[in-house]
Amino acid sequence: MNAILQLDAVEQRNRLASGALRAVEVAEAYLAEIERREPEVGAWAWLDGDYVMAQAKALDDYRSRGRAIGALHGLPVGLKDIIDTAGVPTENGTVLDAGRKPTADAFVVKRLRQAGAVIMGKTVTAELALRRPGKTRNPHNPAHTPGGSSSGSAAAVAAGMVPLALGTQTMGSVIRPASYCGVVGYKPTFGAIPRSGVLAQSATLDTLGVFAGSVGAAALLADSLFGHDSADPATALMPAPRLAEIAGAAPPVAPHFAFVASPAWAVAEPAMREGFAELHEALGGHCDEVELPGAFTEAAKLCEIVQLAELAKSYHHYEKRGRDALSPEMQAAIDDGSRILARDYLAARDWQALLNDGLEAIFSRFDAIITPAAPGPAPEGLGSTGSPAFNGLWTFCGTPAITLPLLQADSGLPMGVQLVGRRGDDGRLLRSARWLVQFLSQTD
């Protein structure tokens, strides 16, 4: 393997910044790895090597003139194929958008370009970012699902075809595929990263997230994306988050974690239960078991009500354009959403603030919640993207969450540990996550 690919994205960035690496060298290394791995993994919906190399050469020319470089200078980034890219196909995983080429970049793509990133290509998504899987397979075992709907982004990073990638989560579409593919997946606080220019499924839940090989790399990428956008009412005018700086700092005291089984614990597989028993033991006094209030047992259902009701509205134009071209799963989701009563939808929305109030009692005592990222390792078969049972609650509450590839099933497939933080306290969550990775590496 090319030595460049063995470097974490943060180290790649540092060498690019110092001049020890050129952007064209990095781009060539990843294009060669894509040529080697893509036939088996199938992570890319659109890729053009000439497009990639043109960007890399332009960045090297820019640097050669002594100009100040961006925070992501020369780093390739994959984009889930629901994120608009000017002049580049963005087909949203549906034949109804086949050949679609947006005329403008999404907010996050503009930010990436400003930071000096190389747009590597578009990664496979489930149909309209919901349930029907795309062509992507799990890099660890192609007979198993990579998860969804950000399957291509998670698999591309896991297979070493790109160091960084963007995805989205409306239920569990960042955290779950990251767990199945064995990479870091970070879903920020709701509204932290603007969504203009991204396929809208659920205005109340849709959240952009990132995939990377380490906590530091995830923080580096997210740092360039946080911000206010007048086109996205979920965002707010806030100071820069300094995520990479905070994540890389030592915590003032060792973090204290709350192990929360959550209402989904009943579906946790034996491998995940055994892994968490060992994790709890390894953490010792750094972790206490905590029960959620009874109201949280309804959270998954409430999240689904909001998601499907808003999906039915958002995707109505697809249904009008060509219902028969949509999968049976998508048709059923639209039909289910259309049947939800306004009173039930509005009542579900009311619960978001109430559940966050219930979490405050935990976050006032603990740095983060620790819980599974998925029921177990990636299920065998490619007909499903797996269960979001351990994700919907946190998406509904809008809390930041991160998957860490810390566990492994007997089959060799990875299993993710999910950390959840207080809404708006993303830096502290990332710092606690980095501490946890280092702590466990010292106890092995």
* Chain segment 294-324, per-residue pLDDT in tens: 889 999 999 999 999 999 999 999 999 999 9
User: Which are the catalytic amino acids?
Assistant: 80, 149, 173
Task: Average the pLDDT over 222-243 and give the result.
Answer: 95
Are the beta carbons of 31 and 49 closer than 8 angstroms? yes
Task: Average the pLDDT over 182-210 and give the result.
Answer: 98
pLDDT, residue 240, reads 85
The mean pLDDT of the chain is: 97
> Pairing mode, if any, of strands 401-408 and 184-187?
antiparallel
Q: Could you give the CA distance from residue 424 to residue 400 in angstroms, rounded to a whole number?
A: 7
pLDDT, residue 257, reads 98
The beta strands (E) that lie in 234-333 are given as 257-259, 287-289
Q: Could you give the CA distance from residue 225 to residue 248 in angstroms, rounded to a whole number?
A: 18
- The phi, psi pair for 29, rounded to 5°, reads -65, -45
Q: Could you give the CA distance from residue 174 to residue 198 in angstroms, rounded to a whole number?
A: 15
Model pTM greater than 0.75? yes
The SS3 call for residue 120 is strand
Q: Could you give the CA distance from residue 437 to residue 444 in angstroms, rounded to a whole number?
A: 11
Task: Average the pLDDT over 261-285 and give the result.
Answer: 95
pLDDT in tens, 51-108: 999 999 999 999 999 899 999 999 999 999 999 999 999 999 999 999 999 999 999 9
Q: Could you give the CA distance from residue 351 to residue 349 in angstroms, rounded to a whole number?
A: 5
Cα dihedral value 304, 309, 310, 316, nearest 10: 130
pLDDT, residue 444, reads 62
DSSP 8-state secondary structure symbol assigned to residue 411: T
Q: Could you give the CA distance from residue 233 to residue 368 in angstroms, rounded to a whole number?
A: 27
Q: Could you give the CA distance from residue 339 to residue 13 in angstroms, rounded to a whole number?
A: 50
Kindly list the structural domains of the chain, giving each domain's residue range(s) and its CATH number in brackets, ordered by start.
3-248 (3.90.1300.10), 257-293+347-443 (no CATH)
Sheet holding 207-212, edge to edge: 44-46, 118-123, 76-80, 164-169, 207-212, 184-187, 401-408, 414-420, 368-372, 257-259, 287-289
DSSP 8-state secondary structure symbol assigned to residue 67: P
Those residues whose C-beta lies under 8 Å from the C-beta of residue 321, and which sit 6 or more positions away, are 96
DSSP result, 160-203: TS-SEEEEEESSSTTHHHHHHHTSEEEE-STTSS--TTB--S-T
Task: Average the pLDDT over 133-142 and give the result.
Answer: 97
Task: Average the pLDDT over 118-136 and give the result.
Answer: 97
443 pLDDT exceeds 90?
A: no
The SS3 call for residue 242 is coil
148 pLDDT exceeds 70?
A: yes
Q: Could you give the CA distance from residue 79 to residue 150 in angstroms, rounded to a whole number?
A: 9
Q: Could you give the CA distance from residue 206 to residue 50 in angstroms, rounded to a whole number?
A: 32
DSSP result, 307-319: HHHHHHHHTHHHH
Task: Average the pLDDT over 257-267 and give the result.
Answer: 95
pLDDT, residue 1, reads 76
Distance of CA 60 to the CA centre of its chain: 29
